[in-house]
């Protein structure tokens, strides 16, 4: 169990292994605030790093095909910068990626010590001196393994900055002398750093943030980092079991030009809060929230790939405890095209498992649940982990394998609930509490070499297995926007004005 650390409320964007763009509050990483698939990349391309450009507020990303992109933080759409891949091409497997705010160029560093400068205007790359520990440093002569990078003073028109890096081999925070490549040891981070994750420094508060995969739990943990000593302090796990491969701190208004506007819309009971950066409109955020929405509860699920299907999804849900409705939105990608994909909300019920019994806590299955040793978690092997089908959702079938699903359910309509697997009847109340439930998406093709002589859908015959689980994710609660988002906005604006 991580001991939580105090963290200034800022918005953090991250990229998941499944190539979803997600966000969370820096003080509450366990509650994802948004999630959407990243689109517009090359076939089989993955994002290796992201950062906001201080001069414009745009989110930039670098892909594994040696291409530079802008990335919409509201839709996930990637747009290539320039006419194609840059040269020299990417060399390495883990990378630091961050804007130098004083020259409006991107520093790109690899775990094999390569050191590049990327041009955000044309997408071209310039290779400079490899990174190294010089004579006189505590780690002189040691081969570096810098996998994450970030600059201080990440705001427009900054005149000074310092580049920091995370060395995953030595578990250190280091400084880097830009294109000279010289590294300086700052101090140990206090944890086993893996190459999967990200690092960034807030341009508003100067706080260092780090996300790293915990090798013992296969989950991403979120940390603050003391730039003076290098010591990391854990804040908590990133929500939904998401494995994060890159992070960026969202920009806020430039301190000298930030304006906080709070206005009430008379007679509507709705408040609108906007933060504007007047000089360049670098960051603009607006939202309308009910003045009193205690009956509305927000939930989400990061639905990760099962059985190496390649499919994944992100769900957002709103439970109205007054109207007794559940609004479900699911965005999926990477599933087999032109095939039916069954989709359900599953749940465990204690006692004899029948309707009306208290809920048990559903969890996602792992390969350890493969009881017959065929290399797949089949539907009956997953049921003890996530439970029977409580609410069937519409089957998805698209030419691309991607889908967007939105539907509202009346929880008082008992005809909607029940399991086609067990034949059991359920009611809407069995779905509660939602954060004990699991979303499972099914459908996957297998060859004829696995499972011969065993029961279940993987039985030695090749073909598409309609009920074979392809992705699953635990549902978790999301705090009310008025608590998490407004507090963060107000505190950041107040900080900016003090500057």
DSSP string, 86-98: -SSPP-SSSEEEE
Those residues whose C-beta lies under 8 Å from the C-beta of residue 247, and which sit 6 or more positions away, are: 12, 13, 14, 15, 50, 197, 198, 199, 200, 209, 210, 211
Residue keyed to tokens 């206090």: 190
What per-residue confidence (pLDDT) applies to 4?
Answer: 42
Q: Does domain 296-478 have CATH number 2.60.40.200?
A: yes
Environment class of residue 492 by beta-carbon count within 10 Å: exposed (0-12), middle (13-18) or buried (19+)? buried
Picking from 172, 170, 151, the residue whose alpha carbon sits closest to that of residue 160 is 151
What per-residue confidence (pLDDT) applies to 392?
Answer: 95
How far apart CA 96 and CA 100 sit, in angstroms, is 12
Cut 0.75: pTM above it: no
Angle at 113 between CA 110 and CA 119, to 5 degrees: 55
What CATH code is assigned to 11-251? 2.120.10.100
What per-residue confidence (pLDDT) applies to 9?
Answer: 77
How far apart CA 410 and CA 373 sit, in angstroms, is 41
How far apart CA 169 and CA 255 sit, in angstroms, is 37
Backbone angles phi, psi at 233, to 5 degrees: -125, 125
What is the separation, in whole angstroms, between the first and last Cα of the chain? 36
How far apart CA 179 and CA 164 sit, in angstroms, is 13
The alpha carbon torsion through 349, 354, 355, 357 (nearest 10 deg) reads -50
Structure tokens at 326: 């559940």
Cβ burial 219-236 (10 Å sphere, 16+ → b, else e): bbbbbbbbbeebbbbbbb
What per-residue confidence (pLDDT) applies to 480?
Answer: 52
HSE of 344, CA atoms in CB hemisphere, 13 A: 24
Residue 465 β-bridge partners? 444
Same topology for domains 11-251 and 296-478, yes or no? Answer: no
Are the CB atoms for 202 and 8 separated by under 8 Å? yes
Cβ burial 377-393 (10 Å sphere, 16+ → b, else e): bbbebbbebbbbbbbbb
Q: Hey, where are the domains in the chain?
A: 11-251, 253-292+481-499, 296-478
What per-residue confidence (pLDDT) applies to 254?
Answer: 37
Query: What confidence tens digit (pLDDT) does each residue in 228-265 have?
Result: 999 999 999 988 677 899 999 999 643 333 333 333 33
DSSP string, 142-188: PPP-EEEEEESS-STT-----EEEEETTTTEEEEE-GGG-BEEEEEE
Task: Using 50 as the pLDDT threshold, list the residues of the chain that sit under it.
Answer: 1-7, 253-292, 481-499
DSSP state of 3: P
Listed in order, strand segments (DSSP E) in 17-118 are: 20-25, 28-37, 47-52, 59-63, 68-71, 78-81, 95-100, 105-110, 115-118
């Amino acid at each position: 169990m991580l001991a939580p650390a105090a963290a200034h409320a800022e918005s953090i964007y991250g990229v998941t292994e499944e190539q979803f763009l997600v966000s969370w509050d820096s003080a509450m990483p366990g509650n994802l605030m948004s999630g959407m698939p990243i689109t517009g990349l090359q076939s089989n391309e993955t994002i290796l790093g992201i950062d906001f450009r201080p001069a414009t507020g745009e989110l930039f990303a670098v892909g594994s095909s040696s291409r530079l992109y802008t990335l919409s933080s509201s839709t996930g759409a990637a747009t290539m910068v320039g006419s194609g891949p840059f040269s020299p091409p990417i060399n390495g497997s883990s990378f630091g990626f961050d804007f130098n705010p004083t020259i409006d160029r991107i520093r790109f560093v690899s775990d094999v010590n390569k050191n590049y400068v990327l041009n955000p205007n044309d997408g071209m790359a310039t290779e400079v001196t490899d990174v190294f520990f010089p004579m006189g440093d505590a780690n002189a002569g040691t081969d570096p393994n810098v996998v994450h990078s970030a600059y201080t003073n990440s705001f427009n028109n900054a005149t000074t900055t310092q580049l920091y890096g995370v060395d995953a081999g030595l578990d250190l925070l280091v400084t880097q002398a830009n294109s000279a490549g010289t590294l300086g040891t700052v101090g140990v981070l206090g944890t086993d750093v893996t190459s999967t994750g990200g690092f960034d420094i807030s341009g508003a508060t100067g706080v260092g943030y780090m996300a790293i995969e915990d090798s013992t739990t296969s989950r991403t943990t979120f940390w603050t980092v003391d730039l003076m000593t290098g010591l990391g302090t854990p804040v908590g796990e990133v929500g939904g079991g998401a494995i994060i491969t890159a992070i960026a701190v969202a920009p806020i208004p430039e301190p000298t030009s930030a304006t906080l506007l709070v206005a009430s819309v008379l007679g509507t009971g709705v408040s609108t809060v906007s933060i504007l950066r007047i000089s360049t409109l670098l960051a603009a955020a607006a939202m309308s929230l009910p003045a009193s929405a205690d009956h509305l509860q927000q939930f989400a699920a990061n639905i990760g790939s099962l059985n190496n299907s390649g499919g994944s999804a992100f769900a957002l849900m709103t439970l109205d405890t007054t109207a007794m409705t559940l609004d479900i939105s699911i965005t999926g990608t990477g599933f087999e095209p032109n095939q039916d994909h069954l989709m359900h909300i599953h749940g465990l019920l204690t006692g004899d498992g029948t309707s009306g019994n208290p809920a048990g806590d559903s969890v996602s299955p792992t390969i350890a649940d493969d009881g017959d040793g065929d290399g797949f978690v089949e539907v009956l092997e997953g049921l003890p982990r996530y439970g029977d089908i409580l609410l069937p959702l519409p089957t998805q079938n698209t030419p691309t394998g991607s889908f967007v699903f939105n539907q509202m359910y009346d929880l008082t309509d008992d005809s909607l609930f029940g399991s086609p697997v067990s034949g059991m009847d359920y009611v809407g109340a069995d779905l509660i509490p939602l954060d004990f439930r699991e979303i499972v998406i099914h459908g996957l093709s297998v060859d004829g070499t696995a499972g011969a002589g065993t029961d279940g859908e993987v039985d030695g015959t090749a073909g598409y297995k309609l009920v074979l689980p392809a992705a699953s994710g635990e549902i978790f609660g999301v705090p009310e926007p008025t608590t998490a988002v407004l507090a963060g906005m107000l505190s950041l604006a107040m900080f900016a004005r003090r500057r």
